[in-house]
Amino acid sequence: MDEIQSQSDHYRSSSSSASSPASRVPAFNFFYLRKPGSLGQPISFEDSPEWEDTDADVRVEEGGGDSINAATTSVSPSLSKLNSGSLPSPHLPEGAAVARKIAGASVAWKDLTVTIGGERKYSDNVVKGSNGYALPGTMTVIMGPAKSGKSTLLRAIAGRLPPAAKMYGEIFVNGAKMHMPYGSYGLVDLETTLIGSLTVREYLYYSAVLQLPGFFSQKKSVVEEAIHAMSLGDFANKLIGGHCFMKGLPSGERRRVAIARELVMRPQILFIDEPLYHLDSVSALLMMVTLKKLTSTGCTLIFTLNQSSTEVFGLFDRICLLSNGNTLFFGETLACLQDDNGDFSAVNMDTAVAICTLEATYKSSADAAAVETMIMRLTEKEGPLLKSKGNASNATRIAVLTWRSLLIMSREFKYYWLRLILYMLLTLCIGTIFSGLGHSLSSVVTRVAAIFVFVSFTSLLSIAGVPVLMKEIKIYASEESNQHSGALAFLFGQLLSSIPFLFLISISSSLVFYFLIGLRDEFSLLMYFVLNFFMCLLVNEGLMLAVVSLWKNIFQSVLTLVTIHAVLMLAAGYFRIRSELPRPVWTHPLSYIAFHTYSIQGLLENEYLGVNFAIGQVRSISGFQALHSAYDISPRSNAKWENVLVLFLMAVGYRILVFVLLHFYARKNVSLHRLFRGKHDSTA
């Protein structure tokens, strides 16, 4: 912490020439406005792009790792007043490669309007006729108060608006109509779901393997570049979420990890929604200095901010100021703060009056005309089209997701191993209650009750895994939004990784229950018991996954699952024999969709078919006849395998339902939730 504080003091002292004029800004109701005469002074065109591909490497100078490399484009005179000092960069290993020099990409948007029906009280236009541009090797920030349209404009430029939004206007990339293929750009959401049980290096490595084609060994260098670019070297081997004896990464480092995940693709354009979200002033400054260094590789950086300190403000190249969807200013950062002589001028003005004044004067100013001229220059000649870098195959993604999930399971004690312990304790309780039943005819009814309680209660206990599935759905939504994963790969990976865990639960619980109850001592019957219970857990896992995908909320999912289990237990044929249930609703369809029914039937058929009970010394009855009044089973010898087949088909059916939900419904809901979450948080 002392090192960070010393770096912060160095930052402030090195940028004192910039902070001294702005330090006169009062805390409330004061706005920097240029004097009326300055509106005739256009912004600078000095940093217009040149289409040159380069593959040079940018490295930190030995012994001089405390200076930021210059951007690929020239810096405007006004901005150089803030950047004249040598700003220190965060600590990086000597001689480490920061990032490979990449060909820049310019972005321009013209008359951009975004409409989202019903989301605003007075107008559906979230963004209204916005004009602007971003150049290679520069930082362009979209600023404004809450509900000003910052995130919507950012997503519109990135081509990532939700289905409910409609966009009007034009977007150009390198002078051509918008074309940003996979891998040429990255988008960092306001809140990215990270995997707390992985280290930073592991998380980025798995992300790289999911995104990039090629061999696994080739991804390591890309991951190391991303770690160094975001100054995560000291945290590379630490768990993101920590564990019971160690704290996880601070919020600033978590944000860096989220950005580094997109850097493994080496994007030419990077969009970030609120990079300083939940960061303190020191962490915010460190973050912005790191991003400033990132632009020195040629990357075009566009991001949103709600507010910034003086030191952070001085690092921006260009600013787009929004209020209620209207553009109040676009141009070089300091151009909106200076008068004709290049000095700063503070005007004491009410907030509403200041916004109205800026909105009225900007549209007719020379700055607005200069932006339009610059857009014309950027679009009059087409530059090189951005090329797709390819992506990993579905087979690779399934393998990676499976292995990653297995690694997570081995480390998540409270979500996996604690559940295994709870299953063992529950089975032990049930087994001891129903122990010592014997094999007489009088024990049949009690044994049926024991099997019903075992299947029903263990299935009900599976609801404890809802938080795990909720986390998996959030991780999938975060990765799928950036095309790192797909519904099919996620489902196969989740299924393959859950099979060992469910099998471990089934075999451990079955062994305890089987021998405490005293079921028939035959190995083949025991193996069927394990298989039947495993299929039951697999069906239940699919049901939970479908409910979680539908609600995406822990409380609603648990409430729904408890209700479903209660209804299915009533229709399972124990409280009243299946053939005697009321036909509407309870027999058709509930008793046929209750997986408890098929599991219990199979276990009872496994235990009692082929068994005879003596009545007196001369007469005997079959196991089927003995069960006739207690539970409805089939007399066919292969009926128990038919029940296992039905369970298997139900497991497949539930996962097909999950695929439909993820592909058609969950994706839309997650996009809308993510878009407006920041606005909700700001008003809550």
Specify burial of residue 183 (Cβ count, 10 A radius: 0-12, 13-18, 19+). buried
**CA dihedral angle for residue 534, residue 538, residue 544, residue 548, rounded to 10 degrees:** 140
d(CA 110, CA 376): 10
Biggest CA pair distance of the chain: 118
- pLDDT over 60 at 630, yes or no: yes
* Residue that wins the pLDDT comparison between 276 and 57: 276
- The H or E element that residue 10 is part of is helix 2-14
How does pLDDT run across 323-340, given as a tens digit for each residue? Answer: 889 999 999 887 666 555
- The alpha carbon torsion through 541, 543, 547, 550 (nearest 10 deg) reads 110
Look-up of token digits 């299946």: 578
Q: Where are the domains positioned within the chain?
A: 107-183+268-340+349-390, 185-266, 413-671
Q: Residue 473 in 3-state DSSP?
A: helix
Residue range 511-533: mean pLDDT, rounded: 95
Which CATH fold topology does 185-266 show? Rossmann fold (3.40.50)
Residue 555 — pLDDT band, cuts 50, 70, 90? Answer: very high
Neighbours of 56 (CB within 10 A): 10
pLDDT the model gives residue 120: 52
Pairing of strands 619-622, 612-615: antiparallel
pLDDT of the residue at 119: 52
Give the number of other Cβ atoms within 10 Å of residue 343's Cβ. Answer: 10
What are residue 28's phi and psi, to 5 degrees? -135, 145
Coil vs helix vs strand at 620: strand
Model pTM score: 0.80
CB 4 within 8 A of CB 280: no
Residue 567 pLDDT class (50, 70, 90 cuts)? very high
Is the distance from CB of 14 to CB of 85 less than 8 angstroms? yes
Sign, CA torsion 629/630/632/637 = negative
Helices 487-517, 639-660: axis angle to 10 degrees equals 150
Of these ranges, 275-289, 435-449, 586-600, the one predicted with the greatest mean pLDDT is 586-600
Question: pLDDT band at 668, cuts 50/70/90?
Answer: low
Q: What is the pLDDT of residue 288?
A: 93
Supply the pLDDT for residue 349: 54
For residue 243, the 8-state DSSP code is B
Taking residue 509's Cβ as centre, other Cβ atoms within 10 Å add up to 25
pLDDT-derived band at 243 (thresholds 50, 70, 90) equals low
Half-sphere exposure of 526 (CA within 13 A, CB side): 17
* Closest to 490 in 3D by CA, of 390, 397, 393, 553: 397
Dist. CA 180–CA 459, nearest whole Å = 47
Q: Return d(Cα 564, Cα 543) in angstroms, integer.
A: 10
pLDDT tens figures, 230-239: 999 999 999 9
Which residues have a Cβ under 8 Å from the Cβ of 256 and sit 6 or more positions away?
230, 231, 232, 287, 290
Assess contact for 480 and 667: CB atoms under 8 A.
yes
Do residues 63 and 392 touch, judged by C-beta distance below 8 A?
no
Report, as an integer, the average pLDDT of 212-229: 86
The pair of structure tokens assigned to 124 is 């559906």
Confidence of residue 384 (pLDDT cuts 50, 70, 90): confident
Element (H, E) at 588: strand 588-589
Q: What percent of the chain has pLDDT over 90?
A: 53
d(C-alpha 264, C-alpha 267), whole Å: 8
CB neighbours of residue 19 within 10 Å: 18
Q: Matching CATH topology for 107-183+268-340+349-390 and 185-266?
A: yes
Mean of all residue pLDDT scores within the chain: 80
Q: According to DSSP H, which parts of 35-181 are helical? A: 77-83, 150-158
> Confidence class of residue 117 from pLDDT cuts 50, 70 and 90?
confident
- Cis ω before 589 (30° cut-off from 0): yes
Phi/psi for 620 (5° steps) reads -145, 155
Task: Summarize pLDDT for 473-510 with one digit per residue, the tens.
Answer: 999 988 988 888 889 999 999 999 999 999 999 999 99
Fold classified for 107-183+268-340+349-390? Rossmann fold (3.40.50)
Higher-confidence position of 163 and 35: 163
* Strands (E) located in 14-75: 30-32, 57-59
267 Cβ neighbours under 8 A, 6+ residues apart: 183, 184, 185, 186, 299
Specify whether the CB–CB gap between 149 and 126 falls below 8 A. yes
**DSSP 3-state of 135:** coil
Q: Could you identify the residue written with the tokens 């790792």?
A: 65
- Burial of residue 532 (CB within 10 Å: 0-12, 13-18, 19+) is buried
> Angle CA(602)–CA(603)–CA(607) in degrees, nearest 5?
115
